[in-house]
Structure 1
Amino acid sequence: MKSFDLLVVGDANPDVVVGPLRGPLEFGQREQLVEHAGLVLGGSAAIMACGAARLGLRVAFAGRVGDDPAGAFVREALAGRGVDVAFLVTDPVRPTPLTTVVTAGDGDRAILTAPGCLTATGAEDVPPELIGASRHVHAASFFLMPRLAQSLAPLFALAREAGATTSLDTNDDPAGRWDPELLRPVLEFTDFLLPNAAEASALSGAAEPGAAAAVLAGRGPTVVVKDGANGALAHTGTRLTHAPAVAVDPVDTVGAGDSFDAGFVAATLRGLDLRSALTVAAACGSLSARAHGGTAAQPTWDEALAAARAHLPAVPPALRTRETRSPS
């Protein structure tokens, strides 16, 4: 039996989330007041790992933090949400990444990140025995971690050899290059690519989400595109599937896409078909926006199913509980 349902590889850092900012960000030593501020767990990979653990998966995390108070905060926050951090490396030289998120009233946000030890994170931080012990391997923040990006293809290939499935959420490219040659070898070993609509467009060159998904699916993976209030869509290369968003009164959309990823992987590992997995994932993304920060409102499996039920085909009774069934 595999020890973990999910291994998440990638970024983990504290987020300082402030907002909403009602006007433009002003310089010139202007002090602007906002309604809310919070110190919360951040990093796409970390938020996804917490969402998956909340949904009942056995989750391990591999990555780096610094030997500093911010790194201790990250380690404690992940462990407190049920994520195994035994393989989270402490970098003796570089600091823990730090991010400030400034939210706007319309749901948009600006993100400022000091990468710290993200630049040193690579495949060597992921022991082969951990890959062999996991049913699924997910990586995030591809363009933030150049060493990991360059070594992710062989890591995913090793996961495939060990019988695991794989997924990737590239997230944004701060440099704006969206290098297709860097990504292309990784997609050969990626089962699910999980961009949002803007990322899918940048990666593919196609403006419309369905067209972007079709282009990217032609490179190998099933492509699952998050499209905010429009819900989500998936393209297998031959078939396009849609799922609606779940209506909520959003408080903070930080991390909603990562919670979506967690829901999609959890539903897929439980054996749901693509449309059902997409619907559960959309519910997880919507529900996570009910509170400030990326992890505070992440749903349980039963909560996600309840929210998605109006759009969800019949779910086998064995899949309705929070328990996961891991094959040997």
Structure 2
Amino acid sequence: MENQFDVIVVGELNADLILNHISTFPQIGKEVLAQDMQVALGSSSAIFASNLSTLGAKVLFKGVTGCDMLGDFVVSELAKRGVDTAAIVRNEQTKTGATVAMNFENDRAMVTYPGAMEQYGAEDIDSDLLRRAKHLHISSVFLQPALKRNLLTLLDQAKSENLTTSLDTQWDPAEKWELDLAALLPLVDVFLPNEAEIKWLTNQPTVESALQHIGGYSNTVVVKLGTRGSVSCHNAVQTHVPPFLNSEVVDAIGAGDSFNAGFIYRYLSGATISDCQRFGNLIGAISTTAPGGTGAFTSRSAVMKKAKDYFNYTEK
């Protein structure tokens, strides 16, 4: 069967309510004002899928929402960016999740209602669905306990169908970090944590020691370092790639997911790991030029114009 899609994304779906220009950070019992508010496509998986599609990849999303206004919004936003939404289940028994993001100075706080994402497992992802794509991306497993329980089976199934795979666990709200990396990572072609996540997952004090800790059973590991760029470990060689820095950051929501989209977009074309990192760094930086995780990604031409205008980057 010929692959209809470049990537199938399995993950959570929710909407973001973003509050900007907050006068001071909220305290219990006190009210503060935000000067700007936006409702945007949320969730790591959806931001990744949307931005990867905008870059030009053919993307299929497999997930679940409620049969409600937020679910309508999320599915509509994905479809607008060219993501195939036919495999998204609308469940009347649950509500679509939502995140309230409060941006303050150069950081943010978030409160998430998981909603439908807590109920979503991998039981209904069959081989026929996987065969339609070349690559499987999974994100936010700690927000999806049913998916987390079936993660090893899903990855094994994907590898048996000759898909390449990528995983971004994202943050664990419970801060337990219970994940069998030794079992999972041999089945993951590209592991995409950030600096804090890899240190917590491995119980190591530094990124370097964390990479060494999992080096015996991992394939390619790429760690997002924010304003310090990214570092990878591939074939026992660690490579640091410097960042593209935006001096006028609007917010950093979805910057890591955008990095993932840029990295995987290049990875699918057979580029070197360092080239994938560089493009990931660029796409992550472009994300910070507009509100929310997808605001900067209205079209591929608009993305590449921002690359030129903000970062003097031109595609070869």
1:280–1:308 Cα contact (<8 Å) kept: no
Query: Where in structure 2 are the equivalents of 1:294-305 lying within 5 Å?
Result: 294-298=293-297, 300=300, 303=304
Root-mean-square deviation (Å): 2.1
**The one of 213, 222, 225 aligned to 2:223:** 225
Whole-angstrom distance in 2 between the partners of 1:214 and 1:58:
35
Instruction: Report the counterpart of residue 129 of structure 1 in structure 2.
Output: 128
Whole-angstrom distance in 2 between the partners of 1:102 and 1:216:
34
1:194–1:224 Cα contact (<8 Å) kept: yes
3-state secondary structure, aligned to 1:103 = strand
Instruction: Report the counterpart of residue 37 of structure 1 in structure 2.
Output: 37
Instruction: Report the counterpart of residue 289 of structure 1 in structure 2.
Output: 288
Instruction: Report the counterpart of residue 277 of structure 2 in structure 1.
Output: 278
Whole-angstrom distance in 1 between the partners of 2:277 and 2:198:
16
Instruction: Report the counterpart of residue 169 of structure 2 in structure 1.
Output: 170
Instruction: Report the counterpart of residue 55 of structure 2 in structure 1.
Output: 55
* Number of aligned residues: 311
Instruction: Report the counterpart of residue 204 of structure 1 in structure 2.
Output: 202
Whole-angstrom distance in 1 between the partners of 2:182 and 2:87:
28
With structure 2 as the length reference, what TM-score do the two structures score? Answer: 0.93
2:244–2:311 Cα contact (<8 Å) kept: no
Distance 1:137 1:238, change over 3 A: same
Distance 1:60 1:243, change over 3 A: same
Q: Does 1:254 align with 2:226?
A: no
How many Å apart are 1:237 and its aligned residue? 4.9
Whole-angstrom distance in 2 between the partners of 1:12 and 1:40:
12
3-state secondary structure, aligned to 2:150 = helix
Whole-angstrom distance in 2 between the partners of 1:49 and 1:238:
30
How many Å apart are 1:161 and its aligned residue? 1.4
Q: Does 1:27 align with 2:28?
A: yes
1:218–1:237 Cα contact (<8 Å) kept: no
1:197–1:209 Cα contact (<8 Å) kept: yes
With structure 1 as the length reference, what TM-score do the two structures score? Answer: 0.89
Give the unaligned 5+ runs of structure 2: none
Give the unaligned 5+ runs of structure 1: 321-328
Letter of the 2:262 partner, please give it: G
1:22–1:105 Cα contact (<8 Å) kept: no
How many Å apart are 1:216 and its aligned residue? 2.9
How many Å apart are 1:126 and its aligned residue? 2.3
2:127–2:161 Cα contact (<8 Å) kept: no
Letter of the 1:44 partner, please give it: S
3-state secondary structure, aligned to 1:135 = strand
3-state secondary structure, aligned to 1:83 = coil
Identity %: 35
Instruction: Report the counterpart of residue 13 of structure 1 in structure 2.
Output: 14
2:23–2:32 Cα contact (<8 Å) kept: no
Residues 66-114 of structure 1, C-alpha deviations (whole Å, 9 max, x = no match)? 01111111110110111000000111201111111111112x1111111
Distance 1:160 1:6, change over 3 A: same
Instruction: Report the counterpart of residue 212 of structure 2 in structure 1.
Output: 214
How many Å apart are 1:247 and its aligned residue? 1.7
Letter of the 2:161 partner, please give it: A
How many Å apart are 1:171 and its aligned residue? 0.4
Whole-angstrom distance in 1 between the partners of 2:214 and 2:20:
35
Q: Does 1:156 align with 2:152?
A: no
2:3–2:133 Cα contact (<8 Å) kept: yes
Residues 142-168 of structure 1, C-alpha deviations (whole Å, 9 max, x = no match)? 111011011111111111111110000
Whole-angstrom distance in 2 between the partners of 1:221 and 1:196:
16
